């Protein structure tokens, strides 16, 4: 009798397991065979009925035994073949052909990218496989941990959010996806409510969590991580597109060492036309300057590998896209809950993993495209400050190196960063290394690019538009970003140029030498502007010279774009070299001719007075009338 009861109980258990498992498998099978898709030529709204498209199943895996670990080829070649056959708007990651109507401000207003274009591109669009060719041959362990993919969002566009989810489902082995968790940070857009619930119920392994108030990116990620069931947590932003075979390379490194945080290579999806391409420089190490701006620096020769497709160490992550062992994430304390909304969290998690016994790698064979917004389309709740977050990270993790930040950002010094006792106790409990160890052993190449102690300034002064009385704003200058004009307020300190960087100088220097400036700063200024390099009472003026034949009455613009400036306010470029600071040309309200100015400068530098000195001035339009751009030239 007992034997019969035991068999009945076993049968009942198997039946319950089957009922729980089979529907999920069925949904995934349905998805893999018949993927929801919107026509490339029509816009599918939240209430629309998706069209159906067939997708082939994966081919056979090739199995190899290596170092006692069975490794296989995780590529889905039939899915790759299907992607390659696709054509239409944005397919193969090609830029969408834009018209003036597509560029109206309304297209960007709610999302910071062109939602009109996004809506006209398939949710299942193909992207170019731009991995290193060696990645195609890579084999990964046949038994990899599964992952919970966490995608936080706030008022995200319909098509961009859905395309993120579809790309993960389309290009991930189903057995490696434990779940996809969408975490809604108190969105108020109608399409992200019932319509999203109805759509996502048709997709396998997708669930939606919602906050009860605006929490911000950091706490929204924590909410998703707390609900995750997968062995690994993978964080993605809500406007991404996973590329071919993106997931196995990440999970393989974690399977090899669970204390490794791994980051995919982040490709650029253009916010305007949705073209897909690699970042400039492609594989580079994550870093920062001493104002805590995220930077990318070349991989030093000492870390270069024979195979460029191999993972490489990175001191700092970009922030939004990475995978981490779930238990290890919580052993590290997750994110600091004292960080508000967004900003600084990438430094906190990066410093913490390196200093507390882990490591971080970028994985060239894993690529994910990301839309870098034109601007942040929503307001951050009042009282929240990025400065507060950065101060908090500096105080907890950077030890005496925090002083270098305060020297550049003195307003941080007396800023309240809240109660940090729990974070400091965590650092002690985990027996973490000090920040000097991090700089010596992990980010040892960072000072070559961003020295904590700046060398003497090569040049200083101000760049003033004499027509408007406005000067270049230098407080928050980031290399390659727009420089804006502000009122020329006395006492701010002069702008100083040193080694290709722009910063503030509180006091003047007695002398500048040409050796102290190793790069040229290229500044775009208007016809009515003059570039002034101030040495005591001796300024150098670099006007945009009409006499050199460089004035252009018709602005050089791309077809279909509006003029950046009127014919009387075309833009040209002026170079400023430290050697010019030894010149004797006086500042005047009248523009001198290029030839005359060049002669004076050449004589001061021991030259022959050749007027060819001005051939470094080139015409270049800025992005708009109110901002100027900066570029470093080697």
Distances (CA, A) of 588 to 222, 488, 495, 536, 595: 59, 18, 20, 16, 16
432-469 burial, b at 16+ Cβ within 10 Å, e below that, comes to bbebeebbeebbebbeebbeeebebbbbbbbbbbeeee
Q: Which of 105-114, 180-189, 417-426 has the lowest mean pLDDT?
A: 105-114
Question: Rounded to 5 degrees, what angle do the CA atoms 574, 578, 581 make?
Answer: 90
Distance (Å, rounded) from C-alpha 386 to C-alpha 61?
A: 47
Do residue 137 and residue 269 come from a single domain? yes
In a domain, 309, yes or no: yes
Do residue 491 and residue 346 come from a single domain? no
Distance (Å, rounded) from C-alpha 62 to C-alpha 75?
A: 10
Distance (Å, rounded) from C-alpha 85 to C-alpha 79?
A: 10
For the stretch 328-372, pLDDT in tens is 999 999 999 989 888 899 999 999 999 999 999 999 999 999 999
Q: How many CA atoms lie within 13 A of 141 on its CB side?
A: 16
Distance (Å, rounded) from C-alpha 501 to C-alpha 454?
A: 10
In a domain, 387, yes or no: no
Model pTM? 0.69
For the stretch 241-259, pLDDT in tens is 999 999 999 999 999 999 9
Distance (Å, rounded) from C-alpha 469 to C-alpha 508?
A: 22
In sign, the C-alpha dihedral spanning 227, 232, 234, 235 is positive
For the stretch 534-552, pLDDT in tens is 333 333 333 333 333 333 3
Q: Parallel, antiparallel, or unpaired: how do β-strands 501-505 and 470-472 relate?
A: unpaired
pLDDT at residue 18 greater than cutoff 70: no
CATH code for the domain in which residue 208 is found: 3.90.550.10
Do residue 176 and residue 317 come from a single domain? yes
Query: Measuring CA to CA, which residue among 235, 218, 151, 232 is closest to residue 393?
Result: 218
pLDDT at residue 596 greater than cutoff 80: no
Do residue 194 and residue 69 come from a single domain? yes
In a domain, 354, yes or no: yes
Q: How confident is the model at residue 62 (pLDDT cuts 50, 70, 90)?
A: low
Q: How confident is the model at residue 94 (pLDDT cuts 50, 70, 90)?
A: confident
Among 309, 340, 371, identify where a domain stops: 371
Do residue 224 and residue 337 come from a single domain? yes
**Mean pLDDT to the nearest integer, 104-124:** 85
In a domain, 221, yes or no: yes
**pLDDT recorded at residue 443:** 98
Do residue 320 and residue 201 come from a single domain? yes
Q: Which of 2-16, 208-222, 455-469 has the lowest mean pLDDT?
A: 455-469
Count the neighbouring beta carbons within 10 Å of the beta carbon of residue 115.
21
Do residue 359 and residue 488 come from a single domain? no
DSSP string, 453-515: SPPPPSEEEEEEETTTTEEE--TT--TTSEEEEEE--TTS-EEEEETTEEEEESS--S---GG
In a domain, 378, yes or no: no
Do residue 627 and residue 521 come from a single domain? yes
Overall number of domains in the chain: 2
**Mean pLDDT to the nearest integer, 597-612:** 30
Domain range enclosing 265: 13-371
In a domain, 421, yes or no: no
Q: How many helices (H) and strands (E) does the chain have?
A: 16, 27
Residue 485's DSSP bridge partners are 472
Q: Please tell me which of 81-90, 119-128, 502-511, 618-627 the model is most confident about, judged by mean pLDDT.
A: 119-128
More confident residue, 146 or 546: 146
Query: Measuring CA to CA, which residue among 310, 303, 387 is closest to residue 342?
Result: 387
Among 316, 346, 371, identify where a domain stops: 371
Q: What is the DSSP letter of 284?
A: -
Do residue 50 and residue 195 come from a single domain? yes
Mean pLDDT over each residue of the chain, to the nearest integer: 72
**pLDDT recorded at residue 419:** 93
Among 371, 403, 425, identify where a domain stops: 371
Determine contact, residues 399/434, Cβ cutoff 8 Å. Answer: yes
In a domain, 448, yes or no: no
Do residue 53 and residue 190 come from a single domain? yes
In a domain, 520, yes or no: yes
Count the residues in the chain.
Answer: 634
């Amino acid at each position: 009798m007992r034997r019969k009861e035991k068999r009945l109980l076993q049968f009942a258990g198997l039946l319950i397991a089957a009922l729980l498992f089979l529907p999920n498998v069925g949904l995934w099978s349905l998805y893999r065979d018949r993927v929801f898709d919107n026509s490339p030529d029509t816009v599918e709204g939240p209430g629309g009925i998706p069209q159906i498209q067939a997708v082939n199943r994966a081919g056979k895996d090739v199995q190899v035994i290596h170092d006692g670990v069975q490794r296989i080829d995780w590529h889905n070649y039939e899915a790759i073949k299907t992607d390659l056959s696709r054509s239409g708007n944005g397919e193969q990651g090609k830029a969408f052909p834009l018209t003036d109507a597509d560029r109206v401000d309304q297209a960007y207003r709610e999302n910071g990218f062109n939602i009109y274009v996004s809506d006209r591109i398939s949710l299942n669009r193909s992207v170019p496989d731009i991995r290193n060719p060696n990645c195609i041959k890579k084999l990964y362990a046949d038994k990899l941990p599964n992952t919970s993919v966490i995608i936080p969002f706030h008022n995200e566009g319909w098509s961009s959010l859905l395309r993120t989810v579809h790309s993960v489902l389309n290009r991930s082995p189903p057995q490696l996806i434990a779940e996809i968790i969408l975490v809604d940070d108190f969105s108020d857009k109608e399409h992200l409510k019932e319509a999203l619930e109805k759509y996502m119920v048709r997709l396998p392994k997708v669930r939606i969590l919602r906050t009860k108030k605006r929490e911000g990116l950091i706490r929204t990620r924590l909410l998703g991580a707390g609900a995750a069931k997968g062995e690994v947590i993978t964080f993605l932003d809500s406007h991404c597109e996973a590329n071919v075979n993106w997931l196995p390379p990440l999970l393989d490194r974690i399977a090899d060492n669970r204390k490794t945080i791994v980051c995919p290579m982040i490709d650029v999806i253009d916010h305007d036309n949705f073209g897909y391409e690699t970042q400039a420089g492609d594989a580079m190490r994550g870093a920062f300057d001493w104002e805590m701006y995220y930077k990318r620096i070349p991989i030093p020769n000492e870390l270069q590998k024979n195979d460029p497709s191999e993972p490489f160490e990175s001191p700092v992550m970009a922030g939004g896209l990475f995978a981490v062992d779930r238990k290890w994430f919580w052993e590290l304390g997750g994110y600091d809950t004292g960080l508000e909304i967004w900003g600084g969290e990438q430094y906190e998690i990066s410093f913490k993993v390196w200093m507390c016994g882990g490591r971080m790698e970028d994985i060239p064979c894993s690529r994910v495209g990301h839309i870098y917004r034109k601007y942040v389309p929503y307001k951050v709740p009042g009282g929240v400050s990025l400065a507060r977050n950065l101060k908090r990270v500096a105080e907890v993790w950077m030890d005496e190196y925090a002083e270098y930040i305060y020297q550049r950002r003195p307003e941080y010094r007396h800023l309240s960063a809240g109660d940090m006792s729990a974070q400091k106790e965590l650092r002690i409990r985990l027996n973490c290394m000090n920040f000097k160890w991090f700089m010596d052993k992990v980010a040892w190449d960072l000072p070559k690019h961003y020295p904590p102690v700046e060398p003497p300034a090569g040049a200083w002064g101000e760049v003033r538009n004499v027509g408007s009385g406005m000067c270049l704003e230098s407080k928050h200058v980031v290399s390659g970003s727009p420089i804006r004009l502000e009122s020329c307020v006395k006492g701010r300190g002069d702008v100083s140029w040193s080694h290709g960087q722009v910063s503030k100088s509180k006091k003047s220097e007695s002398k500048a030498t040409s050796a102290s400036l190793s790069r040229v700063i290229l500044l775009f200024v208007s016809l009515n502007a003059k570039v002034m390099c101030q040495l005591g009472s001796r300024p150098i003026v670099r006007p945009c010279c009409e006499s050199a034949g460089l004035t252009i009455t018709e602005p050089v613009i791309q077809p279909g774009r509006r003029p950046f400036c009127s014919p009387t306010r075309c833009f040209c470029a002026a170079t400023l070299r430290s050697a010019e600071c030894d010149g004797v040309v006086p500042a005047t309200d009248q523009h001198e001719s290029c030839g005359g100015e060049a002669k004076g400068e050449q004589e001061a530098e021991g030259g022959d007075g050749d007027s060819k000195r001005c051939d470094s001035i080139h015409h270049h339009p800025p992005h708009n009338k109110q901002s100027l751009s900066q570029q470093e030239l080697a």
